[in-house]
Amino acid sequence: METTSERNTATFTHLSTLSQYIIPFGNYIFPILIWTSYKDKSEFVNHHGKQTLNFQLSLLLYTLVLALIAIPIFITVFLQNLPMEAVFNDEDFVIRNFDFHGNIGLLSVGITAVLLFGVLKFVEFFLVIYASIKASNGELYKYPLTIPFIK
C-alpha cells in the first residue's frame, strides 16, 4: 500500500512535466530531479518516474522525426519558388510567381507532419493529467506508445 506522500510525489512527478510551458526543458529537468531523489525510497515513485521520463523522451524522439520530415519539405518548396515577387499596393500585399502546383504532394506531407505534432502536444497534455490522477489514486500507469529507454 502506497502512502499519501508517495502518491503525492508520483503525482507531482507527472505534473512537473507541464513546466515545459513556462521553463524550457522543464519537462525533463523536474521529473529527473524528483525521480532521482525518491527512486530508492519508493518503488511506486520509481515506477512513475520512469514512466514519466520514458514518455517525455519518446515524445522528443517523435517530435524530432516530425521536424526532420516537415522542415526540409518547407525549405525545399520555398527555395524552389525563390524568384517570387512580393508587391505592396496601397492596401494589399501580393506574392506573385509562387507555384504550389508542382509541390502539392510534398506540402501535404509537411502539413500532415505539423498537424501530427499539434495532435501529439494536445494528447500529451491530457495523458499527463490522466497519469497524475492514476498516481494520486495509488494506481500504476503506463503511457501508451512509450519507448522504454529507462528500465
Residue 18 lies in a domain: yes
Cβ-contact 38, 56 below 8 angstroms: no
Residue 73 lies in a domain: yes
**The pLDDT of residue 34:** 94
Residue 151 lies in a domain: no
Count of structural domains within the chain: 1
Whole-prediction pTM = 0.84
**The pLDDT of residue 97:** 66
Helices and strands, number each (H, E), in the chain: 4, 2
Query: Bigger pLDDT: 26 or 79?
Result: 26
- For residues 75 and 150, what is the distance between their CA atoms, to the nearest angstrom? 35
Residue 12 lies in a domain: yes
Expressed as residue numbers, the domain containing 84 is: 4-136
Residue 142 lies in a domain: no
